[in-house]
Amino acid sequence: MKSSKYRPSKIVVDLEAIRYNVKEEIKRLPKETDLFAVVKADGYGHGALEVAKAALEVGAKGLCVSNLDEAVELREAGITQPILVLSYVSLEFLEVAVANNITLTATSLEWIKQLNDRLDKKITIHLKIDSGMGRVGIIDLEEMREAKTILQTNPYIDFEGIFTHFSKADSQDDSYLNLQKERFSSALKVFGETVKYIHTANSATALWHDAWESNLVRFGDAMYGMNPSGKELKTPYSLKQALTLETEIIHIKQLAKGEKIGYGATYETKSKEWIATLPIGYADGFRRDFQGFEVLVEGQKVPVVGRVCMDQCMIKLSSKLPVGTKVIIFGDSQGQFNSIQTGAEYIQTINYEITCGLTERLPRNYVNK
Ligand SMILES: *Cc1c(COP(=O)(O)O)cnc(C)c1O
């Protein structure tokens, strides 16, 4: 699908906010700890390439993505820094990874054995330990010993990193985190001081647990200016939200009292009301659950009335405004601010899901390039 540029709905990403968040985090890290910018899922919906470039400009040493396609896309766009694929890549595509100099994650002993059989060119590998996320990685210490032997003896393998992922680093309750830490410590004993990078820190671990045992931080959500804990924990420095979602009024009319709006006729005007239409809907990722959510028009909060349609939705205004008036769904409107977190809470999800869910139909524009 092409993004719709002949329509006023768009995402605006402030690259200065990305750079600011990265710089603030780097300031807190010990000198020997590198920051890798996590730009999977098209940079959490912000656009992977532009975000990657901004992060690299201010000192990120590499990038993380979730699959090989995302890695290749960045290489093809001219990115030369290290790119780590955080999850499983089928060895069917080993040649693609090798040809593009992509770092792969070893997710199981079986995968490492297959790699060992097939490899005839150099590749960089990070080993994933499953310390309690239950997703990918080796759990068993005996398997780790076997993995170590292969990873250290195959001349084509540059065994560069060992890592794990914490599932509750964004919580006040540290008990599960402590269990995962213990397990990862035992895993590290199997390997000794043999690799360049040991890493455990996503944004939450970096923000609230001093990037525990990491000399590489996988910095995602916070780089985009979002708090990975939602509202549970306060961030040690204030983050700048990079994304604005904006549109414009495309139609306005005054309806009489008792008129209905949208599919299912779920909203009824209580008096004469000014109702405006916006060209954005659930096909853009502005989900139906946003019925009733307050967007910003000239610094005022105004509610979405009636059900959100696929391509449009309606808002109630207190007075007539011209077609073309700017509407901010997330972001700043004359000093009033709608955070993505507010939207996430409104539809009972996490901020990550809001930005990742914004579809390709919305053009991505960049300011402060
Ligand atoms: C997505 C991901 C990250 C980044 O997490 P944030 O919470 O966005 O910082 C780090 N590590 C792994 C393995 C991931 O999958």
Question: Does ligand 1 lie within 6 Å of residue 316's CB atom?
Answer: no
Name the pLDDT band for 194 (thresholds 50, 70, 90): confident
Instruction: For CA atoms 327, 329, 332, 333, give the dihedral sign.
Output: positive
DSSP string computed for 225-239: T--TTTTSS--SS--
pLDDT tens, position by position, 24-51? 999 999 999 999 999 999 999 999 999 9
Cβ atoms 118, 152 nearer than 8 A: no
pLDDT band at 266 (very low <50, low <70, confident <90, very high): very high
Residue 347 identity: I
State if residue 220 touches ligand 1 by the CB under 6 angstroms criterion: yes
- List, for residues 213-251, the tens digit of each pLDDT value: 999 999 999 999 999 999 999 999 999 999 999 999 999
- Closest C-alpha residue for ligand 1 atom 2: 202
Please give the distance, rounded to the nearest whole angstrom, from the Cα atom of residue 202 to the centre of ligand 1. 5
Q: How far apart are the first and last CA of the chain?
A: 25
Alpha-carbon distance of 316 to 303, in angstroms, equals 6
Return the pLDDT at 69. 98
Q: Which amino acid is it at 249?
A: I
Percent of the chain with pLDDT over 90: 99
Query: Hey, what are 216's tokens?
Result: 């590489």
Ligand 1, atom 15, lies closest to the CA of 86
CATH class of 243-338: mainly beta
CATH superfamily entry for domain 15-224: Alanine racemase (3.20.20.10)
Query: Domain ranges in the chain?
Result: 15-224, 243-338
Q: Which atom of ligand 1 is nearest to the CA of 218?
A: 10
pTM, entire model: 0.98
From the list 121, 122, 253, 263, the catalytic residue is 263
Question: 165, 224, 340: which to mutate for ligand 1, most atoms within 8 A of CB?
Answer: 165
**172 band by pLDDT with thresholds 50, 70 and 90:** very high
Ligand 1 center to residue 204 CA distance, Å? 9
Is the CB of residue 217 below 6 angstroms from any atom belonging to ligand 1?
no
For 87-103, write each residue's pLDDT tens digit.
999 999 999 999 999 99
Residue 297 to residue 302: CA distance in whole angstroms:
7
Q: Is residue 106 helix, strand or coil?
A: strand
Q: Of 10, 40, 148, 316, which one is the catalytic site residue? A: 40
* pLDDT in the model for residue 1: 82
Confidence of residue 115 (pLDDT cuts 50, 70, 90): very high
27 is annotated as an active-site residue = no
Q: What number does the ligand 1 atom closest to the CA of 203 have? A: 9
- The upper half-sphere exposure of residue 47, i.e. CA atoms within 13 Å in the direction of its Cβ, equals 25
Annotated catalytic, 2?
A: no
Model confidence at 193, pLDDT cuts 50, 70, 90, reads confident
Does ligand 1 have an atom closer than 6 angstroms to the CB of 221?
yes
